[in-house]
Amino acid sequence: MVAALKREIAPLIKDWTRIQREHDGRKFTFFEQDDIVAVCGGIGMQSARRAAEAVIALYHPAQLHSVGFAGALNKSLRVGDILSPAVVIDARDGSRHQFTSGTGTLLTFMAVADAKQKIKLAQAYSAAAVDMEAAAVAAAAQARGIVFGATKVISDELDFDMPGIARFVSAEGRFRMPSFVLFAALRPWLWRSVAVLALNSSKASHALCARLKDFCRDTSAAAILGAASSGAEIALRSKGVK
């Protein structure tokens, strides 16, 4: 699973094994649990692509899953709603990644979208939600023939305007929280939106992790069944049964 920030999946990975590994001259922190691994690669497509490449090179996954927060482009979507899209669109070139399951369209955009930008994107792409990473993870998976999926949670509704957070995303895709806190503290008119953002993020994270726990359980069960089936086939072959 490839997420942007640890806070998106913190309730899920709190008891997982944490390990640092290096790939292509960069250090990544991975969280391992049984046959599942998660990495928080940072905000944006470049960061997501680097994280996806790292997890592919180091873990050779059977499937790659983009998880995390998304902004609503549909006024019916509320904070905590889960989206498992059937289509992911890359806003850079309009390329589309389509899947055999899922519902709706997720747009991957290059920047944090404010309320006005979200309305424009909704009109232009007819998408249900917008994120900043999924298309990059999908491209990495597609390039190597790896199964791809996405599970996103709505963290900000269509009319919610982000309180100037874009400037605090570093070139490496990290969110500079101390700088943002200082910035907001000196601007009382932002306090309400910052408080709402914090509450929404917490609600979204818990909703996402509840869904991902089911996903992890189902994935582990499928792996066990697959291993058991493979073992039975080998045993039958050793006895000359086809």
pLDDT digits (tens, 9 = 90+) for 134-183: 999 999 999 999 999 999 999 999 999 887 777 777 777 788 888 888 98
How far apart, in whole angstroms, are the C-alpha atoms of residue 202 and residue 175? 16
The ranges assigned to domains in the chain are: 2-238
Query: Which is nearest to 206 in space by CA: 159, 154, 165?
Result: 154
For residues 68 and 130, the answer to whether their CB atoms sit within 8 Å is no
Question: 2-238 belongs to which homologous superfamily?
Answer: Nucleoside phosphorylase domain (3.40.50.1580)
pLDDT at 196: 92
- Span 15-46, pLDDT tens digits: 999 999 999 999 999 999 999 999 999 999 99
Name the amino acid, one letter, at 174: R
- pTM of the shown model: 0.86
Residue-averaged pLDDT of the chain: 88
pLDDT digits (tens, 9 = 90+) for 93-144: 999 998 878 899 999 999 988 899 999 999 999 999 999 999 999 999 999 9
